[in-house]
Amino acid sequence: MNELLAVVGVTVALCLLGVFMCLAAVMIVSQWVITAKAGFPGWSVLIPIYATFIQLRVIRRPESWGWIIVGTSFAQFCLSIYEQFVLAQPDNQPWWLLLSTMILSIILAIYGVRMTHGYARVFGKTGWFTVGLIFIPYVFYPILAFGNAPYQPDGMVYNSFGPG
């Protein structure tokens, strides 16, 4: 009986791994096509930090955003290393570690939403499409990539909160 459960568990794990690999491939191909549609090299989506700066060029945002995103991500990485390897008891975290991790996560979330909204805007989509890109990315990024929406870097909508 235990052997059967082990086989079923491994089978389920491999099936889930296959599904996640397919979803990752869909997202990589979609990002590649979106980047190429905007006139930038599609292969750039495969290089993490470089991809951030290319994405900012696609959505016509300043390079300083990239440094903020990369710096915030690096700071969060360093805090997690500190938490795991320096603190003797990770269950008893100091208040400043929890607070700084939370603040860094909020900063990354804000920039992530604004970048996603920038993608929707430069392809002529609305704020509701941004909501779809955030909550159902495996459907909406392929729509953006393989749909007929043209890249319109100068056709962004300006509102009272700034561009896009």
Collapsing DSSP to helix, strand or coil, 159 comes out as: strand
Q: What are phi and psi of 8, to 5 degrees?
A: -65, -40
Domain ranges of the chain: 2-163
pLDDT of residue 138: 95
Write down the number of H helices and E strands in the chain: 6, 2
pLDDT at 156 over 60: no
- Nearest CA-CA partner of 74 in 97, 44, 111, 108: 108
Q: Is 158 strand, coil or helix?
A: strand
Query: Which pLDDT does position 96 carry in this prediction?
Result: 84
> pLDDT tens-digit profile of 14-58?
999 999 999 999 999 999 999 999 999 999 999 999 999 999 999
Q: Average pLDDT of the chain?
A: 88
Residue 147 DSSP class: S
